[in-house]
Amino acid sequence: MKCIGFVGNMDKTELIMYIAKMLDSLGKKTVYIDATTTQKTRYIIPTIGDLSEQNQYVVQHDGVEFAVGFTNMLELKKYFLSKGEDFTEFEYVLVDTDTDDMCEEYDLKSANELFFVSSYDKYHITKGVELLKYMCAMKRKADPEAQLVLTKLLYYSDVNTADSKYIDILSENLPLLWKHDPISFPYDQGDLSVNIQNQYNSKIDVRQLTPAYKDAIVTATSIITGSEKSDLKKVLKNIEKIAKFSR
């Protein structure tokens, strides 16, 4: 089982959904843990019966498992045990959070892969870097020489050179190791419309997303799995083909 962390103050729900869909299409049993303050998945993922009224639950949506309301991995393990299921069968656990507490509870400083997700909005960057400071402090408690290893995943609209350097300026004194080149992509109104339409259609449908957004999904999945981007693009095409012929 590999833990993949997505930390940052902005909404990254749909992006992680698409990555989870890719992993599921690769035959990798995956669960997406919503450990954010807003708990957005509680409101946009369809549930059955009284499930949505429970504090903690796991629901499958379009092939992906979503865990809502859990504050640590042990609670999730106990939940699956109560259902007669083996939590260790999951190959990937995707943790989405925007709080110090959840970074600590899910031990994201030790995640197999860690993504810092932000836009170039100064608020998102500043709040996100505060999270990184906290995680670095946790990392250094265990090992005074340790670095927090992660990858930037950046949404942008209009951005200039000063904006693009702002994250590095704020974090320059932190013990960070940026493992890969930043994954940057424009998040335009078209992508936003697709995400909202998917909510109403109860689907995780990538067909109408912009090429840049799709490339970000493929690149992030490649980092997580080690698979070649060329192979993952074929997987994405197959997801689109299945969606086209499904109701």
Cα angle 1, 218, 34 (rounded to 5 degrees) comes to 50
pLDDT tens-place string over residues 80-117: 999 898 888 999 999 999 999 999 999 999 999 999 99
pTM equals 0.92
Higher model confidence: residue 195 or residue 17? Answer: 17
pLDDT at 63 exceeding the cut of 90:
no
pLDDT value of position 242: 83
Of 148, 151, 139, 149, the C-alpha closest to 115 is 151
User: Considering its fold, how many domains does the chain have in total?
Assistant: 1
Give residue 10's domain range.
2-244
pLDDT value of position 195: 87
Neighbours of 92 (CB within 10 A): 22
pLDDT tens-place string over residues 195-226: 898 889 888 888 899 999 999 999 999 999 99
pLDDT value of position 160: 58
Which CATH number do you get for residue 18?
Answer: 3.40.50.300
Paired tokens of 166: 């702002």
Neighbours of 20 (CB within 10 A): 26
Of 73, 103, 76, the C-alpha closest to 9 is 103
pLDDT at 67 exceeding the cut of 80:
yes
pLDDT value of position 198: 85
pLDDT value of position 50: 66
